[in-house]
Amino acid sequence: MNIYKNASVASKKAFLNYAIVILFFVVFQTLVNTGSITSALKGQLIPIVCYMIMAVSLNLVVGISGELSLGHAGFMSVGAFTAVIVSALMSGASNSSRLFVSILVGAAIAALAGFLIGIPVLRLNGDYLAIVTLAFGEIIKNILNCLYVGIDDKGVHFAFNNPNALGMDPLGKEIIKGPMGAVGIKKIATFPAAVILLLVVLIIIQNLVNSRTGRAIMAIRDNRIAAESMGLSPMKYKMLAFTVSASMAGAAGAIYALNISTLVPKKFDFNTSILVLVFVVLGGIGNMTGSLIAAGVLVVLPELLRKFSDYRMLVYAIVLILVMLVTNNEKLKGRLDTFVKKLGMRISKGGRKK
C-alpha cells in the first residue's frame, strides 16, 4: 500500500488498469470454472481480450501520437495469418510453445508491415493520413484474399492468385486458401494466455507513455513545430508509436486466429478498423482505462441485445450517435448534468421520506 501511496498520478492510473484486467480475469475465470456463464459469452472471452488489445494499441496511435488511423485491422490480419502459418509449421511442439512462438512471430511481421507502411503514411497529416491508412488496410485485405499457402514434407509453399501454382506433394495440406481463408486452424489459444498478453501490452504501452520517449511523442502531437525546434525528430517518434501499435495489433490478431477454426481475410476489413476506433473514441482518446472498458462493454453489448435480435445493430447505432451527441455538445451535456443532479436529489429526498 505504501508503494501505491508514494506513486505518481501516472503510475496510479497504470496500476488501476492492471487491477481492472486482473479483476476481469478473476471474475470471468471463476464464472467459467463454476459453469455459471452462457456458452455464447464464454466463446466471446478471448475475442473481448483481443479487442481490448486492439483498442489500447490503436489508442497509442490515435490518442498519444495524435494520428487518425483507419487501417488498424490490417495489422491484425497480418498477425493472424502469420500465426496460422507458424502454428501449422510447429505441429510437433507443445501447445503453449506453439502459441508463444506464433504470437511472437505474428507481432514481429505485423511490426515490419507497420514500419514499411509507416514510411509513406507518416509523411502525410490529418485526414490525408487517415485515408491512406484506410487504403493500406484495404490493400492488405485484398492481398490476403489472393494468398494461397500449403505445407508438405519439404516445407511451406506460397502462391499468389493461383492455387495450382503451389507445387506441393500430393500429401501436402493447404492451410490458407485465398478468399476462403485459413481453414483447419488448431484452437490453441486460452483465456489466461490472452489475459497475460493483454497485461504485457499494457505494461509496454504505459511504460512507453510515461517515459522520455512517450513525452517526446506527446510533445510532437501537441505542437510539432515547437517539438521539432527542441531537436525532436517527428518521423522517428511517430514511427516508433506506429510500429509498436502495429506489432500489438499483430499479437492480438495472432491469438484471435488461434481461437477459431476458420478465418477469412474479409473478417479484418474497414468495418473492424472502425469498430476498434469507436472503442477508442467512446472510451476517451488517450485514456487506456476507457479503451479497456469500452472494448469490453461494446463487444458484449450486441450479445446482450440478442433479445431484440433484428433491432440490435440499429440500437447499437442509435446508442453510438446519442453518446457522441451527449458527450460532445455543450448544451446537451449541460442538460444531462442538471437532469442527473435533479434525479440524485429526488432519490435522496425519497430516501429521507422512508
Question: Which residues lie near another protein (CB under 8 A)?
Answer: 62, 68, 120, 123-124, 127-128, 130-132, 134-136, 138-139, 142-143, 145-146, 161, 178-179, 225, 270, 274, 277-278, 281-282, 285, 310-311, 313-314, 316-318, 320-321, 324-325, 327-332
What is the spatial distance between Cα 197 and Cα 107, in angstroms, rounded to a whole number? Answer: 11
* Closest distance of CB 166 from another protein, Å: 17
> Quick one: 183 or 274, whose CB is closer to another protein?
274
> Quick one: 197 or 281, whose CB is closer to another protein?
281
> Quick one: 23 or 128, whose CB is closer to another protein?
128
> Quick one: 203 or 230, whose CB is closer to another protein?
230
> Quick one: 134 or 257, whose CB is closer to another protein?
134
* Closest distance of CB 32 from another protein, Å: 31
> Quick one: 43 or 120, whose CB is closer to another protein?
120
Beta-carbon contacts of 65 under 8 Å, excluding residues fewer than 6 positions away, are: 217, 220, 221, 237, 238, 241, 242
The answer to whether 14 and 25 have CB atoms below 8 angstroms apart is no
41 vs 194, 223, 256, CA distance in Å?
Answer: 16, 44, 15
* Closest distance of CB 250 from another protein, Å: 20
* Closest distance of CB 312 from another protein, Å: 9
> Quick one: 178 or 214, whose CB is closer to another protein?
178
What is the spatial distance between Cα 253 and Cα 307, in angstroms, rounded to a whole number? Answer: 29
Other Cβ atoms less than 10 A from the Cβ of 192: the count is 9
* Closest distance of CB 211 from another protein, Å: 26
CA-nearest of 68, 41, 54, 111 to 268 is 54
> Quick one: 191 or 316, whose CB is closer to another protein?
316
* Closest distance of CB 274 from another protein, Å: 6
* Closest distance of CB 270 from another protein, Å: 7
> Quick one: 127 or 153, whose CB is closer to another protein?
127
User: What is the grid cell recorded at 78?
Assistant: 497480418
Q: At what angle do helices 191-209 and 9-34 cross, to 10 degrees?
A: 170
What is the spatial distance between Cα 156 and Cα 74, in angstroms, rounded to a whole number? Answer: 23
* Closest distance of CB 93 from another protein, Å: 34
* Closest distance of CB 72 from another protein, Å: 14
The answer to whether 51 and 282 have CB atoms below 8 angstroms apart is no
